[in-house]
Chains A and B, each alone.
Chain A
Amino acid sequence: DAGVIQSPRHEVTEMGQEVTLRCKPISGHDYLFWYRQTMMRGLELLIYFNNNVPIDDSGMPEDRFSAKMPNASFSTLKIQPSEPRDSAVYFCASSSLAGVITDTQYFGPGTRLTVL
Chain B
Amino acid sequence: DAGITQSPRHKVTETGTPVTLRCHQTENHRYMYWYRQDPGHGLRLIHYSYGVKDTDKGEVSDGYSVSRSKTEDFLLTLESATSSQTSVYFCAITWTENTEAFFGQGTRLTVV
A binds B: no
